[in-house]
Chain A
Amino acid sequence: GQNIDQPTEMTATEGAIVQINCTYQTSGFNGLFWYQQHAGEAPTFLSYNVLDGLEEKGRFSSFLSRSKGYSYLLLKELQMKDSASYLCAVRGPGGGSYIPTFGRGTSLIVHP
């Protein structure tokens, strides 16, 4: 099975940097996703890591360490619109028919 842990809520200041952590224990691992979800809206894809290391995409970066079962999402130059829930999801074994397991999400509140 899969078990994913991430903090329930975080707060940060506009313009700052915030790091959202995700740890996982899985019976098989084929990659880790980060999604952003604004209240009442659909999740939108942010990143996918399958190899160790840092992937940078604009203000957002995602890091993965497979040996530690650990990932983080780094948000720089925070804006008010970044207030949202951030979902960590692990892709298990199964090739094309994988069932991603989602964490419960981290609610990020950005204040002025």
Chain B
Amino acid sequence: EAQVTQNPRYLITVTGKKLTVTCSQNMNHEYMSWYRQDPGLGLRQIYYSMNVEVTDKGDVPEGYKVSRKEKRNFPLILESPSPNQTSLYFCASRRTSGGPYYEQYFGPGTRLTVT
């Protein structure tokens, strides 16, 4: 089944404790991205990656890091989480060639609470 998976789905942590949210897709998509969704603000892009070893900032990158060492994986790293990073996070992927490339496939979401 074609899908984007994220882990963990729920996480409660404390300020300053480094964490990683994993994202994996099995569709051989070149493009992957991370969003956060907050009430009243909609989805905002954090980082995106056009392909392996190619990443770039989205609209709200502060406090986050990413890496793209393999095509299927795109982890989101919070080196020192703060309460304002409490949010619902979505990973997404899409192709960039060889067919309709505009449709993004979203993972199930990770609800993060930083206390």
Contact = CB atoms under 8 A, between A and B. Distances in A.
Contacts of A42: 90, 106-109
Interface in B61-115: 90, 96-97, 100-109
A44 B44 CA distance: 16
A73 B10 CA distance: 32
Chain B residues touching A, range: 20 to 34
Interface string B21-63: 0000000000100000000111111001010000010110000
Q: Classify the interface of chain B: helix, strand, loop or mixed.
A: loop
A29 interface: no
Contacts, number: 48
| Size category, A interface | 20 to 34
A97 B107 contact: no
Interface of A: 31, 33, 40-45, 48, 87, 89, 91, 96-97, 99-105
Given A33-B102, A87-B42, A87-B43, 17 more contacts: A31-B102, A41-B109, A42-B90, A42-B106, A43-B43, A43-B90, A44-B106, A45-B103, A45-B105, A48-B102, A96-B31, A96-B97, A96-B101, A102-B43, A104-B40, A104-B42, A105-B42
